[in-house]
Amino acid sequence: MASTTAILGLALAVLFFSNSHAATFIFTNNCPYTVWPGALTGSGSPLSSTGFELGPKTTINLTVQPPWSGRFWARSGCTTDPLRKFTCATADCGSGQVQCNGGGVIPPASLVEFTLAPDGGKDFYDISLVDGFNLPLSITPQGGSGCQSSSCAANVNAVCPPELAVKGADGGVIACKSACLALNQPQYCCTGEYGTPDKCPPTNYSEIFKSQCPQAYSYAYDDKTSIFTCGDGANYLITFCP
- Of the listed ranges 11-20, 34-43, 103-112, the least confidently predicted one is 11-20
* Single-letter code of the amino acid located at 52: F
Using the predicted structure, report yes or no on whether residue 7 has a pLDDT greater than 80.
no
> Span 217-237, mean pLDDT?
95
Q: How far apart are CA 234 and CA 231, in angstroms?
A: 7
Arithmetic mean of pLDDT over the chain: 93
> Span 112-132, mean pLDDT?
94
| pLDDT for residue 21 | 79
Q: How far apart are CA 241 and CA 92, in angstroms?
A: 18
- Using 50, 70 and 90 to split pLDDT, how confident is the model at 139? very high
Name residues whose C-beta falls within 8 Å of residue 91's C-beta, 6 or more positions apart in sequence: 38, 73, 74, 75, 76, 105, 106, 107, 108, 109, 110, 134, 175
Using the predicted structure, report yes or no on whether residue 233 has a pLDDT greater than 50.
yes
Q: How many CB atoms lie within 10 A of CB 160?
A: 23
- Using 50, 70 and 90 to split pLDDT, how confident is the model at 15? very low
pTM > 0.85:
yes
Ramachandran class of 91: left when φ > 0, alpha when ψ lies in -120 to 50, beta otherwise: left
| pLDDT for residue 13 | 38
| pLDDT for residue 18 | 42
Boundaries of every domain in the chain: 23-155+213-240
DSSP 222: -
The architecture that CATH gives domain 23-155+213-240 is: Sandwich (2.60)
Ramachandran class of 29: left when φ > 0, alpha when ψ lies in -120 to 50, beta otherwise: beta
Q: How far apart are CA 121 and CA 230, in angstroms?
A: 8
Helices (H) and strands (E) in the chain, counts: 4, 13
| pLDDT for residue 17 | 39
DSSP 190: T
Render pLDDT for 35-52 as a digit per residue (tens, 0 to 9): 999 999 999 999 999 999
